C-alpha cells in the first residue's frame, strides 16, 4: 500500500488547518458583529418562529452551530433567554449549520477556491494590522475563510487514493455491505468523530470528500451526517455541565431534538434518501457523480433539519416539560451563595462572556446592598442572641463578597486571554475596577457592623439625636447603593445619567461634615461622653467612605457603559 505515515500526518495537518480556519473565521465575525449578535438573540426570540429564524441567521453567519448553542446555553444561564426561547434558537441553529455543506459542495468541488486563498490573505493582511478593531476582526474573518478552503483543498489532496489502494478499499468494504447494520455503524462513527473534532462542519467536509472520492456511497454518507447531528450536541452539553439548572436543560433539549430527528429518519431512511437523490438528479439536473453526491448530502442535511424543525416546533412545550422532568430544579437557597451567571467550566465566546460577567457584577452589587439593610437592623437590635445572629450574617456576606471578587476577577482574566476586541478589553478593565469597588462597599458594611458591636460591648448608649442622624446617613447610603444597582442592571444602550449619584454623594459629604462639627460641640456641651462620640463618628465616617466607593462604581460604568 502506497500511503505512508508522513502522508497520514499531512492529512491530519490539513484537518487542523481547516479547523483553525473555521475557528478564526467564526471568532472574527463574532467580534465584528458582537453587539449585533447580542441584540439579535435577545430581541428576536419573542416567539418560537422568530427564535428559529434567529438561530438560522446567526449560525449561517458565524458558520458554527456549536458556537451558537454554547452562546444560547450561556444566555439561558445568564437569564437572558428562557428555556422555551432557547429551544427555538437551537432548532434554527441546526438549519443554519447546513449552509456549510452547501458552500463546500458549490465552491469546494466546483470552483478551486483555494486558488484565491493567497490573494485573499494579501487583502486581509492590512486589515489585520489595522488599529480599528472592526477592520482587524474583518481581517481575521478573511484569514479564517482562506485557511478553511486551503485546509479543504489539502484534505482532498492528501486523502488516500482508494482506487490505487485496493487493500484499503477491501477493508472498508467489509463494513459497507452489511445492509442497514452498516447505516447504524456509520451513524455511530459520525457521532464519535464529531465529538472528538468538536465541529460538525469539519466532519461534514470529511464526509463529502469520502463520498466524492468513492470511499463510501451516498447512503453511508447520509448515516455519517446523521451521526454528526448527534455528535455536535456534545459541545453545548459540556458548556452546560457547570451551569445552572436551566442551562443544562437547554443543552439536553438540543440533544433530544437531534436524537428524535435521527430516529424518525432511520424509520423512513430509504424513502427519504431516495427522494433527495431524485430531487438532485432530476430537478437540479446535477450529472457529475462526484458533484452530485456532494449536492445530495447537502440537500439531505438541509431537508432533514428543516423537516425535523417543522415537526418539533409544535412540540416545544412538550420538550420543555420533558427536560424539566429529567433535570430536577434545585431549591433557590442552594444556589444563593454561588456565582449564578458565570462558571468555572467552558467559556462561551469571549465577547459574549462579557455579558455573563456583567450580569454577575449586577448580582454582586445587589447582594452587597443587602448588607446595608442588615446594618440598620443591627443598629437597633436589643436582643443579644438576635444581634449576634445578624452580625454573623454580615460577616458571612463579607466573606462571600471576598470570594466573589476573586472568582469574577479570575473569570474576567480568563476572558481577557481569549481573542477579544479592543472595546472588549476596555470593558474588562472597567469591570475589574467595579468589582474591586463593590467589594470595598462590603468591607465598609462590615466595618460599620464592628463599630456597632464595639458600641454594645462597651455599653455605650446613643442619644435620640445621634440615632436619628445615623438613620438619616444610612438612608442616604441606601439611596446611593440602589442608584448604583439600577445603573449596573441597565441593558439598553442609552447612557445612564451620573448626576443623581453625584447629588447623593454631595448630600452624604455635606451631612458628614455637619455631623462632625456638631459632634465636637455636643461633647463640649456634655450631651454625651467622648467615647460615645467616637463610636458614633466611626459609623458616620464609614458610611461616607461607602458612598465614595459607590460613586466610583457608577463613574466607572458610565464612563464606558458595561
Q: Can you give the pLDDT at residue 167?
A: 52
Contact 562, 434 (CB under 8 A): yes
CA gap 337, 340 in Å, rounded? 8
Beta-carbon-side half-sphere exposure of residue 320 (alpha carbons within 13 Å): 14
If pLDDT is split at 50, 70 and 90, which confidence band does 423 have? confident
Q: Can you give the pLDDT at residue 562?
A: 44
- Helix then strand then coil, in percent of the chain rounded to 5, is 80, 0, 20
Residue 484 or 15, more confident: 484
The sign one gets for the Cα dihedral 467, 470, 476, 482 is: negative
Calculate the alpha carbon distances from 435 to 431, 469, 539 in Å: 6, 30, 23
Residue 499 has pLDDT above 50, yes or no: yes
- Which of 265-269, 350-354, 431-435, 499-503 has the weakest average pLDDT? 350-354
If pLDDT is split at 50, 70 and 90, which confidence band does 34 have? low
Most confident of 32-46, 189-203, 269-283, 442-456: 442-456
Residue 349 has phi, psi (to 5 degrees) of -60, 145
Task: Output the average pLDDT for the chain.
Answer: 79
CA 200 to chain centre: 19
Q: Can you give the pLDDT at residue 335?
A: 38
Question: What is the average per-residue pLDDT within 338-361?
Answer: 67
- Which set of grid coordinates corresponds to residue 442? 462590603
Contact 558, 550 (CB under 8 A): no
Most confident of 160-164, 225-229, 324-328, 447-451: 447-451
Q: How many CB atoms lie within 10 A of CB 71?
A: 29
Residue 491: partners with Cβ closer than 8 Å, 6 or more residues away: 42
Q: Can you give the pLDDT at residue 144?
A: 81
pLDDT digits (tens, 9 = 90+) for 365-400: 988 888 888 998 898 888 888 999 999 889 888 888
Contact 31, 133 (CB under 8 A): yes
- Which set of grid coordinates corresponds to residue 64? 458554527
- Domains observed in the chain: 5-326 (no CATH), 350-559 (1.20.58.220)
The sign one gets for the Cα dihedral 370, 376, 379, 385 is: negative
- Between vectors from CA 168 to CA 215 and to CA 3, what angle results, nearest 5°? 100
pLDDT digits (tens, 9 = 90+) for 66-89: 667 766 776 676 556 677 777 888
pLDDT digits (tens, 9 = 90+) for 103-154: 666 665 545 555 677 888 888 888 888 877 778 888 888 888 788 778 767 7
pLDDT digits (tens, 9 = 90+) for 460-469: 889 999 999 9
Amino acid at each position: 500500500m502506497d500511503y505512508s505515515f508522513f502522508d497520514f500526518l499531512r492529512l491530519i495537518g490539513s484537518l487542523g488547518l481547516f479547523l483553525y480556519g473555521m475557528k478564526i473565521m467564526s471568532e472574527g465575525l463574532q467580534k465584528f458583529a458582537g453587539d449585533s449578535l447580542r441584540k439579535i438573540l435577545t430581541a428576536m426570540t419573542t416567539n418560537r418562529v422568530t427564535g428559529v429564524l434567529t438561530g438560522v441567521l446567526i449560525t449561517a453567519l458565524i458558520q458554527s452551530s456549536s458556537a451558537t448553542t454554547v452562546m444560547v446555553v450561556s444566555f439561558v444561564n445568564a437569564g437572558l433567554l428562557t428555556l422555551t426561547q432557547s429551544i427555538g434558537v437551537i432548532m434554527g441553529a441546526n438549519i443554519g449549520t447546513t449552509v456549510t455543506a452547501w458552500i463546500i459542495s458549490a465552491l469546494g468541488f466546483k470552483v478551486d477556491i483555494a486558488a484565491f486563498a493567497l490573494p485573499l490573505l494579501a487583502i486581509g493582511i492590512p486589515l489585520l494590522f489595522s488599529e480599528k478593531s472592526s477592520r482587524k476582526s474583518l481581517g481575521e474573518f478573511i484569514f479564517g475563510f482562506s485557511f478553511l478552503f486551503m485546509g479543504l483543498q489539502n484534505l482532498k489532496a492528501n486523502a488516500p487514493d482508494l482506487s490505487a489502494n485496493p487493500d484499503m478499499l477491501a477493508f472498508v468494504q467489509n463494513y459497507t455491505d452489511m445492509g442497514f447494520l452498516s447505516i447504524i455503524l456509520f451513524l455511530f462513527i459520525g457521532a464519535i468523530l464529531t465529538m472528538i473534532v468538536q465541529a460538525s462542519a469539519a466532519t461534514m467536509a470529511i464526509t463529502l470528500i469520502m463520498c466524492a472520492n468513492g470511499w463510501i456511497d451516498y447512503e453511508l454518507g447520509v448515516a455519517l451526517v446523521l451521526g454528526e447531528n448527534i455528535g455536535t450536541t456534545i459541545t453545548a452539553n459540556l458548556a452546560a455541565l457547570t451551569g445552572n439548572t436551566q442551562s443544562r436543560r437547554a443543552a439536553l433539549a438540543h440533544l433530544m431534538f437531534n436524537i428524535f430527528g435521527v430516529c424518525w429518519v432511520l424509520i423512513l431512511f430509504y424513502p427519504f434518501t431516495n427522494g433527495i437523490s431524485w430531487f438532485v438528479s432530476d430537478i437540479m439536473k446535477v450529472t457529475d457523480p462526484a458533484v452530485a453526491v456532494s449536492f445530495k448530502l447537502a440537500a439531505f442535511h438541509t431537508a432533514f433539519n428543516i423537516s425535523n424543525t417543522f415537526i418539533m416546533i409544535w412540540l416545544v412545550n412538550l420538550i420543555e416539560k420533558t427536560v424539566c422532568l429529567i433535570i430536577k430544579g434545585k431549591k433557590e437557597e442552594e444556589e444563593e451563595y454561588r456565582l449564578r451567571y458565570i462558571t468555572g467550566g467552558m467559556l462561551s465566546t469571549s465577547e459574549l462572556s462579557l455579558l455573563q460577567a456583567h450580569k454577575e457584577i449586577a448580582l454582586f452589587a445587589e447582594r452587597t446592598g443587602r448588607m446595608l439593610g442588615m446594618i440598620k437592623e443591627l443598629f437597633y437590635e436589643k436582643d443579644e442572641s438576635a444581634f449576634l445572629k445578624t452580625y454573623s450574617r454580615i460577616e458571612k456576606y463579607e466573606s462571600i463578597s471576598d470570594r466573589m471578587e476573586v472568582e469574577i476577577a479570575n473569570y474576567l482574566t480568563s476572558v481577557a486571554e481569549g481573542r477579544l476586541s479592543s472595546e472588549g478589553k476596555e470593558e474588562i478593565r472597567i469591570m475589574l475596577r467595579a468589582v474591586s469597588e463593590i467589594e470595598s462597599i462590603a468591607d465598609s458594611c462590615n466595618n460599620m457592623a464592628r463599630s456597632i458591636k464595639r458600641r454594645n460591648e462597651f455599653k455605650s448608649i446613643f442619644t435620640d439625636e445621634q440615632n436619628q442622624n445615623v438613620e438619616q446617613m444610612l438612608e442616604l447610603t441606601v439611596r446611593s447603593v440602589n442608584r448604583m444597582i439600577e445603573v449596573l442592571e441597565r441593558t439598553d444602550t442609552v447612557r445612564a445619567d451620573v448626576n443623581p449619584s453625584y447629588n447623593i454623594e454631595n448630600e452624604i459629604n455635606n451631612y458628614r461634615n455637619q455631623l462632625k462639627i456638631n459632634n465636637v460641640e455636643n461633647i463640649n456641651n456634655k450631651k454625651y461622653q467622648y467615647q460615645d462620640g467616637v463610636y458614633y463618628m466611626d459609623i458616620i465616617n464609614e458610611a461616607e467612605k461607602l458612598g465614595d466607593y459607590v460613586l466610583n462604581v457608577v463613574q466607572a460604568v458610565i464612563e464606558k457603559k458595561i
